[in-house]
Amino acid sequence: MAKPTLTIEKAPARKYRVEMDIDKLERLAEALGLYNPEFLEGLERSEKDYREGRYRRINSLKDLSSK
């Protein structure tokens, strides 16, 4: 796997900006299996759920256990 070249900058208010060459990002995604058909189908299902309003906003993972 190729070494990714990253630029990370601290932005105000607990945010970071990360820059990466798009070709290296695509190679990394391929290596992690993000182009896997099952992953893409799951992504389509989650986008459909979002469009249909079947989601809820959370602030932390603790919110998931309180339901």
> How many whole angstroms separate alpha carbon 67 and alpha carbon 45?
22
C-alpha 21, offset from chain centre: 17
In total, the chain counts a number of residues equal to: 67
> How many whole angstroms separate alpha carbon 7 and alpha carbon 17?
8
Mean pLDDT per block of 10 residues along the chain (67 residues) reads 75 88 85 85 93 87 75
Query: What does the pLDDT read at residue 44?
Result: 94
Neighbours of 25 (CB within 10 A): 13
Nearest residue to 20 via CA among 32, 2, 34: 2
Query: What does the pLDDT read at residue 26?
Result: 85
> How many whole angstroms separate alpha carbon 8 and alpha carbon 20?
9
Mean pLDDT estimate for the chain: 84
Query: What does the pLDDT read at residue 1?
Result: 56
